[in-house]
Amino acid sequence: MEDLNREDLMARLRVDVVEVKFKKKNGDERTMMSTLAQDRLPEPVVVEGAPIVEVKERKINPDIVGVWDMEAEGWRSFRWDSVIEVVAGIPEQYQKLHSQVYFSARS
């Protein structure tokens, strides 16, 4: 197993679907098929005649990782320090990679 680092995780998320296992605030463990790959994100929806909404600038929290959840089909997030394991390359229906790469959480 390789050590997990944030830069590698973010790089993998930008190109593929990655299985991320993390501990939720309530203590439950969750596994999420996550991605930031542009070709896997939903297209923005534009409704003709809808009012233009001003987007507020948000402060970026470096401890939070926002991703697209492939199974829930929605934006989700997890705390970087709660990551237990990352698996890239599975399952087949989500992946472009052909090999599995395992990472363990930082000690």
- How do residues 7-43 score in pLDDT, each as one tens digit? 888 999 998 889 999 999 999 999 999 999 998 888 8
Q: Which pLDDT value is given to residue 102?
A: 45
Residue 27, phi-psi category: left (phi > 0), alpha (psi -120 to 50), beta (remainder): left
SS3 6: helix
For the chain, give the mean pLDDT: 80
SS3 10: helix
